[in-house]
Amino acid sequence: MLVLTRKPGERVLIGDDIVITILEGRGDGIRIGIDAPRGVKIQRAEIVQAVTEANVAAAQLSSDDAEAQLKAALGLALPAEAAAEASPAEASSAEPSSAEPESPAAGAGSADPA
């Protein structure tokens, strides 16, 4: 690994088309600017590591576990859980009644003229 000491405003060249500029020093960190061709990926190592770890963890889940986690994250219950949560009283009150609702036109003009 090449270790360099640079001051704000100074640059480091990598190859012919990548330029790293030291913008400023701040206490325990620095700000840098990177000029590179559009096709060059520039990523922070900690982000790549976190995504890789999340992908490995997701790949280790069974499909049932993954489905349950997804539904839980979306606030959805699994079909078996939803059926178990509904009580018999709720199920009977949810059934439609046998009486037909009156339409607004019912009774209008149906009075016996006699």
Nearest Cα to Cα of residue 32 among 46, 48, 18, 47: 18
> Which residues are bridge partners to 21 per DSSP?
11, 33
Q: How many CB atoms lie within 10 A of CB 28?
A: 5
pLDDT score recorded for residue 48: 94
Look at residue 107 and tell me whether its pLDDT is greater than 70: no
Q: d(Cα 94, Cα 81) in Å, to the nearest integer?
A: 18
Digit-coded pLDDT (tens) for 6-62: 999 999 999 999 999 999 998 899 999 999 999 999 999 999 999 999 888 878 777
Backbone phi, psi, residue 79, to 5°: -55, -45
- Select the more confidently predicted residue: 45 or 110: 45
Q: Is the pTM of this model over 0.85?
A: no
How is 18-83 classified by DSSP, letter by letter? EEEEEEEEETTEEEEEEE--TTS----HHHHHHHHHHHHHHHHS-HHHHHHHHHHHHT---HHHHH
- Select the more confidently predicted residue: 107 or 31: 31
Tokens of 29: 């960190």
Q: List the chain domain ranges.
A: 11-77
pLDDT score recorded for residue 60: 78
